[in-house]
A and B are shown apart, each in its own frame.
Chain A
Amino acid sequence: MHDKKDIYEHLQKVLVDLFEVPAEAISPEALLVEDLDIDSIDAVDIAVEMQELTGRKIHPEEFKEIERVQDVVDAVFRLANAESA
Chain B
Amino acid sequence: MRESSLHKMAAEVGDDAPLLSSKVLFSGLSFALFGVCGLLLSVSVFPLLYLLPGGAQLRRRRARRLLGSLFPAYVRFMERCGLIRVQALAPERLGGGGQLIIANHPSLLDVVYLIALVGDTNCVVKSSLFYNPFTAGTVRAAGYIRNDSASLLQECAAALAAGDNLVVFPEGTRTDPHKPFRFLRGTANIALAARCDIRPVVIRCCPARLMKHQAWYEMSTQTLAVSLEVRQPIAIAPYLADQGLRGRMSRRLTADLEAYYRAC
Interface residue count on the B side (C-beta < 8 Å): 12
**In whole Å, how far is A10's beta carbon from the nearest beta carbon of chain B?**
16
B18 within 8 A of A: no
The reply to whether the CB of B42 lies closer than 8 angstroms to some CB of chain A is no
Write the chain B residue with the least CB distance to A60.
B150
The contact of B185 among A18, A20, A39, A60, by CB within 8 Å, is A39
Interface of A (DSSP majority class) = helix
Query: What is the interface residue range for chain A against chain B?
Result: under 10
A14 (CB) vs chain B CBs: closest residue = B247
Q: List residues 95-127 of chain B with CB under 8 A from any CB of chain A.
A: none
Inside 8 A of B143's CB, which chain A residues have their CB? none
- Complex: A60 Cα to B248 Cα, angstroms: 21
Chain A residues with CB under 8 A of B185: 39, 41
Cross-chain contact A20 with B246 (CB below 8 angstroms): no
Complex CA distance for A45 and B247, rounded to whole angstroms: 8
A29 at interface, CB cutoff 8 A = no
| A-B pairs, 5 with minimum CB distance | A18-B247, A19-B247, A41-B189, A20-B248, A39-B185
Q: List chain B positions with a Cβ less than 8 A from chain A.
A: 150, 153, 184-186, 189, 245-248, 250-251
Q: Which residues of A line the B interface, CB within 8 A?
A: 18-20, 39, 41-42, 45, 60
Known contacts A18-B246, A39-B186, then 8 further A-B pairs from the complex at CB < 8 Å, ordered by chain A residue: A18-B247, A18-B248, A20-B248, A20-B251, A41-B185, A41-B250, A42-B247, A45-B246
